[in-house]
């Protein structure tokens, strides 16, 4: 693969200015020169994609630089792809801006202004930019063309169903906060276990190519299996909690 800086930027989905900025910060190795033209390869593209993955995780530029210091500039694309795969099971969702029609379609139901306000209180959508969150009683809500930022697209459907239940908002918020608190702690603990017992030994063994392929396959399967395990375990825990709440006398 031999790409000009314009072609590299287009493939990575960034601007040429961004590529040059990253190169100036040492996040990319120097291009190979053909005459006066700099040519970039698969390793440059893989490193750019890794930088974008780290940005999606919310890391600052300083933190990204510190992370990339551990990866040699001559690391092959396969090693950089593995780095991205190791991050992907723990990467957050990307927010989306949707109009009312698309929002209703994604949610599988019509979301009136009151339901949207409840979803905003749950942290699933953001309405402040559209003014709905501060509208006076009786004032018009969002129009059909107004955009709503969906912070968690994966939670939109189930959260819309919860928000439509005739349940006090305080109950929904408390439940949501409890789930967020414990799942965040669980994800951090699981990620730590994976790093300590799988990734670190792989690095200490010198990153064998054969093990790299196995690790890539493992990371691709990890997230869906962990989610299935978590859902099943939570269902069993709920059943136990219900049984324990029923008087035995």
Domain-by-domain residue ranges, the chain? Answer: 1-91, 96-166, 170-249
Q: How far is CA 52 from the centre of its chain?
A: 11
Which pLDDT score is estimated for 143? Answer: 54
Non-local CB neighbours of 86 within 8 Å, separated by 6+ positions: 199, 215, 219
C-alpha to C-alpha distance for 97 and 125, rounded to whole angstroms: 9
Poorest-pLDDT segment among 46-50, 52-56, 80-84: 80-84
CATH of 1-91, one of 3.30.420.280, 1.10.3720.10, 3.30.300.20, 1.10.1660.10: 1.10.1660.10
What's the rounded Cα separation, in Å, for the pair 8 and 6?
A: 5
Nearest to 67 by CA among 45, 90, 84: 84
pLDDT of residue 137: 34
Reply yes or no on whether the pLDDT at 115 is more than 60.
Answer: yes
Residue 117 CA to residue 163 CA, distance in Å, equals: 9
Helix axes 77-87, 209-245, angle to 10 degrees: 0
pLDDT-derived band of residue 134, with 50, 70 and 90 as boundaries? very low
pLDDT 10s digits, 186-235: 888 887 888 888 888 887 888 787 887 788 777 767 777 777 788 888 88
């Amino acid at each position: 693969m031999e790409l000009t800086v314009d072609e590299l930027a287009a493939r990575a989905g960034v601007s040429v200015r961004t590529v040059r900025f990253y190169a100036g910060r040492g996040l990319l190795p120097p291009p190979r020169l053909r005459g006066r033209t700099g040519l970039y390869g698969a390793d440059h593209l893989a490193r750019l994609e890794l930088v974008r993955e780290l940005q999606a995780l919310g890391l600052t530029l300083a933190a990204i630089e510190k992370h990339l210091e551990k990866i040699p500039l001559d690391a092959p694309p396969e090693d950089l792809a593995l780095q991205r795969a190791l991050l992907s099971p723990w990467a957050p969702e990307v927010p989306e801006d949707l109009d009312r029609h698309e929002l209703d379609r994604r949610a599988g139901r019509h979301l009136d202004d009151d339901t949207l306000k409840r979803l905003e209180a749950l942290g699933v959508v953001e309405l402040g930019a559209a003014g709905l969150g501060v509208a006076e009683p009786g004032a018009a809500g969002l129009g059909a063309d107004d955009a709503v930022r969906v912070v968690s697209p994966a939670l939109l459907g189930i959260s819309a169903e919860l928000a439509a239940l005739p349940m006090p908002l305080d109950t929904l918020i408390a439940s949501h906060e409890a789930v967020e608190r414990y799942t965040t702690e669980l994800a951090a603990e699981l990620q730590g276990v994976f790093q300590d017992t799988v990734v670190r030994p792989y690095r200490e063994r010198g990153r064998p190519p054969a093990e790299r392929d196995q690790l890539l396959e493992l990371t691709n399967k990890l997230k869906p299996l962990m989610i299935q395990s978590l859902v099943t375990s939570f269902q069993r825990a709920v059943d136990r909690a219900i049984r324990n709440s029923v008087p035995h006398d």
